[in-house]
């Protein structure tokens, strides 16, 4: 079982995401993360799904998606020659006693401060999923996370890559 990132190019129509996600559901696949956006061509959307499965299971889901009417292409993202990023917004309890150490940790992870309020600081962090995991783990050791929101992974292959039709 391995974590796999799949990038689907689909027609930008309502209901496409529902049909694609139902293919995962019907075959008992879990979607670990999911992002959707329009592309440089507004008639197309890119759906990036992170899932876990063996090679045969991944091939099965890719083959099933090719049957969708709105399907335009799919590409399995190779994590070694691609750019995979997530975004984290995290609100941390803060006062005079911990503010300096929170800012030091933010510097290490290149986190941006996007709000400082009485009693809390909100940080924005972008990066590889492992970087986001590490930042969260370090925060939970010594600080109180009040709220957080994390996007799913979005990814592009490096260089010129064409999606399989």
Domain ranges across the chain: 2-77, 83-150
CATH architecture of 83-150: 2-Layer Sandwich (3.30)
Which CATH architecture describes the domain 2-77?
Answer: 2-Layer Sandwich (3.30)
Which tens digits make up the pLDDT trace of 14-61?
A: 999 999 999 888 888 889 999 999 999 999 999 999 999 888 988 988
Tens digits of residue pLDDT in 82-139 = 999 999 999 999 999 999 999 999 999 999 999 999 999 999 999 999 999 999 999 9
Using the predicted structure, report yes or no on whether residue 165 has a pLDDT greater than 60: no
Same CATH topology for 2-77 and 83-150: the answer is yes
3-state SS, one letter per residue, for the chain: CEEEEEEEEEECCCCHHHHHHHHHHHCCCCEEEEEEEECCCCCEEEEEEEEEECHHHHHHHHHHHCCCCCEEEEEEECHHHEEEEEEEEEEEECCCCCHHHHHHHHHHHCCEEEEEECCEEEEEEEECHHHHHHHHHHHHHHCCEEEEEECCCEEEECCCCCCEC
pLDDT value of residue 1:
82
């Amino acid at each position: 079982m391995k974590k796999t990132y799949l990038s689907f190019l689909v027609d930008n129509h309502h209901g496409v995401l529902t049909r694609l996600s139902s293919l995962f559901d019907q075959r008992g696949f879990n979607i670990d993360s999911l992002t959707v956006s329009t592309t440089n061509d507004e008639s197309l959307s890119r759906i990036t799904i992170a899932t876990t499965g063996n090679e045969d299971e991944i091939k099965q889901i890719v083959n099933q998606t090719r049957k969708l009417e709105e399907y335009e292409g799919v590409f399995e993202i190779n994590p070694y020659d691609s750019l995979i990023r997530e975004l984290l917004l995290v609100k941390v309890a803060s006062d005079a006693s911990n503010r300096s150490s929170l800012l030091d940790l933010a510097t290490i992870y290149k986190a941006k401060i996007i709000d400082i309020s009485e009693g809390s600081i909100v940080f924005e962090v972008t990066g590889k999923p492992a970087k986001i995991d590490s930042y969260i783990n370090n925060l939970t050791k010594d600080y109180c996370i009040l709220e957080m929101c994390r996007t799913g992974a979005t990814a592009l292959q490096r260089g010129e890559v064409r999606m399989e039709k």
